[in-house]
Every structure is written in C-alpha cells, then in structure tokens.
Amino acid sequence: MKKIYLTLLVIGQCVFAQNKTEKDSTKSQELENIFVTANRTATQRKQTPVAISKLTAKTIDETKATVMNEIINKVPGVLMTNAANEGHMMSIRQPITTNAYFLYLEDGLPIRPMGVFNHNALLEINQFNLQSVEVVKGPASSLYGPEAVGGTINLISLKPSIDPEFKFGFQSDNQGNRRFQAAGGATVGKIGFHVAGISTVQEDGWMINSDYTKNNLNARIDYNITAKTRLISNTMWGIYDSSTNGSVNEYDFYHRTYKNTTPFAYRYSEALRTRLTLEHDWNEKANSYLTVYLRDNTLEQNPSYGIRWSPTVNPTKATGEINSNNFKSYGAIGQHTQKFEFLNTQLVAGALYDYSPVSYWAYLVEMQANLNPGDPGKQTVNNYEITAERPDVKLTDYTADIYNTAGYAQISIQPIEKLIVTAGARYDNMNVDYKNAMDQSTGTKVYDKLTFKAGINYNPIQNTGVYANYAQGFAPPGITSIFRARPGTGGNTGVPAEFYYNLEPATFNNYEMGGWVSLLEGKLRFDYAVYYMEGKNELLSVKIADNSTDYRSVGETSHKGIELGGNYRFLNNQFNFRFGGTVSKHTYIDFQLSDKPSDPIQNLDGYEMPLSPKWSGNSELTYYPKWLPKFRTSIEWQSVGNYYQDQINTFKYAGYDIFNFRAGYQWKGIEIYGNIMNVTDKIYSSYVSRANTANAQSSYTAMPPRTFLIGLQYNFSLKK
C-alpha cells in the first residue's frame, strides 16, 4: 500500500502544475477529490463508483480530538459511539453494533486478521499521526476481504516531510484527561523519517473509577533506493491500561449519579504492528509492491459486560469473568497495477497470505450484588464486589491457528467518453485449525467465499457525476463467538458446555446509486447516496435476562437509507459550512427469535432492528476571519434520532442533540486552542439497550457532561 503515498504525491503535483494559474482554493479542492481507498490506488472521485468520504489533515488538526469518534463522526452516514475511555461501537449501514461488519485499515492493511475482530480496535490509533481518514460506505469485500461489509475505514498516517518539521504540545480538560503529544520528521539524502507519539492520562474523571492511560509510538522510515524503487518501514507500538466503567440504570442516568458499579473492572492491552514494503515502478503505466508484516496483540480484561445477574433468581449473587485474548500474525500482501491505452484500461491485482495463531481463555469470578436500598423492587444494583476468583472454573479455553489466503483483481475501462465501468472479484479462504480444551475437541473450520462488485460512473459535465454499483459482502463468524459456551451451559452450571460450531458466514448484497456536484467554482460541494442492502445469516447478539449473550444467525435482514453530505464556503471564504447525515431503516425479514411455546414473542419478521437510529448527522459551521488571520472558531451539531432498545420493539430511546464549540489561534509557531464539548450540558447516552423480558431494565452508557479542553502546541519547520 505504500505505493499509494507516492502516487498520491505525484498526482497532487500534476494537478498543481496543470492548474497553477487557478486560485489556491481550487487546487486544494482538486487534491481533496483524490482517494486511495476505493480502488486501492490513487483515484479521482469521478472514477469511483462507491460512496466514499475523506477527512483531510486540516479537518483532523482543527478537531483536536480527545477520542477518535470526534473525528470519525464528521463523515456523513457514519455514527461511531463512545463506550468510555476511547472504547467504541460503530454504525455504518448497520445498527449500532459490536459485530464484525466493519474493516479498520491502517495505511491499507487490516489492523486485525480475519476472524479476530475487535470493535474497540481504533482505541489503539495515535490521533497525532493521521494525515487523512477515508471511509468507504457499503461492502468492499471484493478488494479488502471479509468484514468490509457496512464500511471500511482507512487511517492514513503521516509520511516523512521533505524539510525538517517538529511539533509538540499538551492538552487538558476539566474531566481529568491530559495528553502529551510530539511528532517530527525530515528527509536527509535518500532517507526520510517520521516519528509521532502520544501519552494520555485520565484521573478522577466525571465517572468514579474511570481512570486510564494510553501510550502510542509510530515510526516510519522511507529509503529511496533509486528513482523507481523504494523501501518503507512502518511500526506502531502501544499500551492501553484502563478501568472500565459499565452502564448505569435509568434512575442513576437521569439523576447523573455516575457511580461505577464495577470498580474492579479493567482492560489492559499491548499492540505491536510492523511492516516492510518494497515498491517498484516498472514504467509510467506499471508499478508493484510487496509488503511483509507482523502483528502482536495481547488483551486481558475483567469486563463489566461479562457480569451475569438475575433479579428473579438470586438477586444478591452474580458472576463475572477474567479473560485473555492474544494473537500474532505473520503475513504478506503483494499487488500490481497496470494501465493500458486501450479504452483507458486499468487493472489492479493482488494476493494475500496471513498466518495468525490465537489463544483465548476465560474463567469464572463470583460476586456479591449489593442492591440499591432505595429500590423496593430489587431490580437495580448499587455495586458489585468480587467474593472469589475461580481459575478452576473455565468459561472458555481454546487455541487456534488461522490461515487466511486471498486473491483479488479489479479492472476499470472507459468504453465511451465520460463513462467508466469498473468490475472486481476476490476469493477469500479462512481455515481455522482449533483445539477446544472445554470439550477436548479438535478440528478444522473452513469459511470461503468468492465476492463480486460492479459499478459505473457517468460524468456528463466537468463538475457533476453520478454512479451506480452492485457489491457483495462476506463476514465469517468471529472465532470468539464459535468457542463461547452457550448461556446455561459450561462453567458452574452443571450442564456440559455447548458451543456455536454451526454458525454460518453472513453474506450481503448491496445495491446503490449516488452522485456528486461541485458548483460556484468549487465553493459548494454536495454528494448523496441511496442504498438497499440485504443480509443473510447475520450474526446477532441476543441479550437475555441475566445479561448473558446468545448468538443467533438471522435468516434475512434489510438495510436501506439515504446519505447526504456537503460543504459550502461563503463570504470570501471566511465561513465554511459542512453538513451531513443519513436517514435509514434496518429491519428483520426472517428472524425466529425463539422456539419455546412459552415465550410470548417467537417471530420477529418485520420488526425493526434495535439500536438503529432513524436519523444521525453531524454538521459544523467554521469561521476564519480575514481581520484576524490564523484564528478559527466553529460550532458543531451532533444529532442522533430515536431507536428501539430491545429486539421486540417495546421500548425506545429518544436520541440526543449535542453541540460542540472549538476555537484556535496561531501566532508564529505557537498555537493555542480550546474546545467545549457538550456545550448545553446535555444528559445523554451513546448506547441504550434492554433485554427482551418484561422485567428487564434499560442499560445506559452515560456520556460526559459539559467538558472544557485547552491546549498549547508549538510547530517548528525549516521549510524554505
């Protein structure tokens, strides 16, 4: 993927040369319309038959984000919810979910191997090392493989600067979050380097027992062997250590009694990712690259979401777990791009091999549930206490060797002027050799799929384009789901453990059309997409009465919506208005929830999927006054509509509207900035869920009250 960076630079320089007599804003606009994710090569928007958005370095820098969702939520059609301490869930053409339907890339390479999805993967990212963020909405499995279903997020890191550059800074807020950050790089002769690091500490925050630390370091070295050959090394290392506060009940949520009911819960992770890429330009029409990589991840936790408590069975007793999930990956990916004069044809082809040994264990923790004294119904817990750790009672215990192999190809042609046709295919094979110590079984699970995509772009005039596409998606079940004992079995239940060996891969068919327009010499940009996606065998988590999770494969689902986004610069470019959002509906078409005659609701055909906001959007108005250069100020609106909390569609959450304010000023190399998050001090939850039983209680993931952040940064450059 490193070839992408040089290609992007070359195209940007060409655009600059061709338009040197135009206004600077027009040149910037040209560059912003180049993407590297949609077709795995640097591609203009008008050649891309998908819904794709890009967040530029300017947008990322001005956001001064504490957590990644503050950046990602600026993409139309994307809702990344904060689950506290940089944990998160995602919604892109899917409900808010932790399912493996989103692919997270770092410079085009998946952060995790297929089958080892983690919905919190983006908490490992160094926000101070981002050049841009590109998001493809809808299936991209034909290029990037399984899990690229709802959306693909590619985090593109900073590359070495030509001239020496250095920046460092500090930011802090009134909720106990402090971060030190530094980055710098240069090019000396044939060698360029860039290093970026952050160190985050949160203490005594708005929720009791919610402290955490995060340290990340990124390093990149580019060696220009010749004018046509480059060797690039990129390494990421990070440690994350956090208390993990859980959800709160309805009374505590609305009274802002933000106590942590699980003060013992924690998450500790270490991550190392390193890669070496060799790029070569054969000529002006052909180039290749080969990347070899290593991933090494360790994750241990006592999760609050693992607590099982039933108010009707034994209200003073509960159970939890301590678990450890570890993997390494050794892999290689190679790609060749070839252009032909005939019909302006471009062919991209590549192959991947990934070997990832995985281990996972979990054991029982016994707890005392201390009920709220003011709750006569004994339906809520004031706090939990650990009474005994039981390493002798295993809940999960397996090892597996995952072998992922894939081959892909995509071709684009221009049969007539202004019309571009694109088609692609990919074959993926995931082979899992496992040993399950819980039932002493060994075996092999194989998941494979050939996925296709096809699309057209029609650009009738220079500043307008439309597209249509059909794309397939494919997502095998995560192996943590396969080897998790079913509720009511294993552990200390006295019932032999039963597992999810028969879970099927989920498949999707996506039909989409959209377009874009640029008016007023690029000052007004607008894009839209209309999609319908049908899913089969979607893996869903069914929350039962004691907070246990049962996995079910849904027969069929439908996902449909409209995504809108745009940008308008006015009053001599002093004001910039960015707007975006999505209206969507996610529905069960064929879902047999229960086979028990005693259950009041057994079939959910036609029901809405829970955690599916009918509307979500993010818009922002920024002011750059001419009378005070290098000053900026903005107001941002984040809006989330109502949705059902449960699968049986009985309780709704009203959603929320919050406002964020940002301002910053640069004087010479010194920048001072401040953010006010949740300006109106809104009481809101990023995630509200409820089991399907009549006496279930809603669980609220409370978000911070009004937060004031201030930062100081020094930027040093020897640019001539």
pLDDT tens sequence across 500-534: 888 889 999 999 999 999 999 889 999 999 999 99
Q: Are 242 and 267 in contact (CB under 8 A)?
A: yes
Give the model's confidence band at 21: pLDDT under 50 very low, under 70 low, under 90 confident, else very high: very low
Give the model's confidence band at 43: pLDDT under 50 very low, under 70 low, under 90 confident, else very high: confident
Mean predicted confidence (pLDDT) in 649-673:
95
Four-CA torsion 250, 256, 257, 258, nearest 10 degrees: 90
Among 564, 562, 565, 610, CA closest to 583: 562
Q: Write out the CATH class of domain 2-717.
A: mainly beta
Burial class (CB in 10 A: 0-12, 13-18, 19+), 361: buried
- Percent of the chain past pLDDT 90, that is, above it, reads 68
Residue 608 clears pLDDT 60, i.e. is over it: yes
465 Cβ neighbours under 8 A, 6+ residues apart? 45, 46, 457, 458, 459, 515, 516, 517
3-state secondary structure of 10: helix
- In whole angstroms, what is the distance from residue 515 CA to residue 526 CA? 8
Residue 10 clears pLDDT 50, i.e. is over it: no
Give the model's confidence band at 378: pLDDT under 50 very low, under 70 low, under 90 confident, else very high: low
Supply the pLDDT for residue 340. Answer: 94
Residue 486 clears pLDDT 90, i.e. is over it: no
Positive or negative, the CA dihedral 524, 622, 129, 74 is: negative
Chain centre distance of CA 570: 32
Does pTM top 0.75 for this prediction?
Answer: yes
